A = this chain, B = another copy of it.
């Protein structure tokens, strides 16, 4: 049985069982994007790792090394934001072909350093190895979270509203623009979508407002796509969900590309990954004031896009016409079964 036959999530599930270990100092372990660890003091330690692989996550000819450096760190910072934490340190593990130009590696570090300074992260170490294949950049980020401010994926309750920051589908639109430059004249200004694709912005400031409010019941960052990522909240909270297609804050470029292709605009917003926006849930009486606080303190758009249901009600999206369709995870998965 090949990995491609069962897919990433089933494989993680199997491996989890092999190394599971009950320990009081492991608050959240394998299976989540971020490990939550108790060392000492009044805060928990956070640890997360994410990798950018050539020809899987990036094409060397399409992205600059500085963009790649920023991106490789930003996606980890987004994971910490999604749990209500803040980053402190990063370790950078590189696989590099022998023939690679030293300037390329220095530019990568310029990008890493830029993103690190912007978010108060110290790059404290790493590793470098020769890669017989392509480049990969594996970044580990350590951070902290106040014990009373941590936001897990498991706290959503029926009746809660579902909110997202920013706009959806921009990163996916950027990727489409790279794959098919003909689309450029469809979208007008391609820059916002391309920028979002190359160098996503981790929503640390927004996460800090949400965490301090203590009103969010669950949170995740949108790395795989809303339909897939909200599924993680549903599984771990034991709930269902109804998203509202008409409410989705779809990025203009995504909307334009969908229109040019005669597709409904919400497809790209649901299935397009890598937006790195935050998706969170909050009780209905708290959602509006929380959204307003985030917008006021960070300038970020916040939109209510659906509601949490009991588990037995299932997972749905209500179309603008009023019909509901089953919400299938359609985001990014490695080793995708075909």
Binding site for B on A (CB under 8 A): 1-6, 8, 11-12, 14-15, 18-19, 21, 23, 25-26, 28-35, 37, 39-43, 45, 47-51, 53-57, 88-89, 91, 93, 95-103, 105-106, 109-110, 112-113, 116-117, 122-134, 136, 138, 140, 142, 144, 334-335
List chain B residues, Cβ under 8 A from A26: 89, 122, 124
Known contacts: A11-B102, A105-B3, A113-B19. The answer to whether A127 contacts B51 by CB under 8 A is yes
List chain B residues, Cβ under 8 A from A144: 39
Q: How far is the CA of A124 from the CA of B112 in the complex (A)?
A: 25
Q: Are B122's CB and A34's CB within 8 A?
A: no
List chain B residues, Cβ under 8 A from A123: 19, 21, 29-30
Q: How far is the CA of A117 from the CA of B20 in the complex (A)?
A: 10
Residue ID in chain B nearest A127 by CB atoms? B49
With most chain B CB atoms within 10 A of its CB, the pick from A50, A103, A123 is A123
Nearest CB of chain B from residue A67's CB, rounded to whole Å? 16
With most chain B CB atoms within 10 A of its CB, the pick from A93, A100, A116 is A93
Q: Are A131's CB and B133's CB within 8 A?
A: yes
Nearest CB of chain B from residue A126's CB, rounded to whole Å? 6
List chain B residues, Cβ under 8 A from A335: 96, 98, 128, 130
Q: Are B136's CB and A19's CB within 8 A?
A: no
Point out the residue from B34, B103, B106, B126 that lies within 8 Å of A125, measured CB to CB.
B34
Copies, count:
2
Residue ID in chain B nearest A34 by CB atoms? B125
Q: How far is the CA of A225 from the CA of B204 in the complex (A)?
A: 43
List chain B residues, Cβ under 8 A from A128: 8, 11-12, 334-335
Point out the residue from B31, B41, B96, B122 that lies within 8 Å of A3, measured CB to CB.
B96
Q: Are A125's CB and B48's CB within 8 A?
A: yes
Q: Are A122's CB and B11's CB within 8 A?
A: no
List chain B residues, Cβ under 8 A from A23: 122
Point out the residue from B3, B8, B140 that lies within 8 Å of A100, measured CB to CB.
B3
List chain B residues, Cβ under 8 A from A35: 89, 91, 124-125
Q: How far is the CA of A138 from the CA of B126 in the complex (A)?
A: 11
Q: Are A47's CB and B134's CB within 8 A?
A: no
Q: How far is the CA of A128 from the CA of B4 in the complex (A)?
A: 13
User: 12 pairs across A/B with beta carbons < 8 Å?
Assistant: A2-B101, A14-B102, A15-B106, A29-B124, A32-B125, A35-B124, A37-B124, A47-B89, A128-B334, A132-B133, A136-B136, A140-B140
Point out the residue from B55, B100, B125 that lies within 8 Å of A49, measured CB to CB.
B125
Q: How far is the CA of A125 from the CA of B12 in the complex (A)?
A: 10
Q: Are A132's CB and B134's CB within 8 A?
A: yes
Q: Are B106's CB and A14's CB within 8 A?
A: yes
Known contacts: A21-B116, A40-B43. The answer to whether A49 contacts B132 by CB under 8 A is no
Q: Are B53's CB and A95's CB within 8 A?
A: yes
Nearest CB of chain B from residue A135's CB, rounded to whole Å? 10
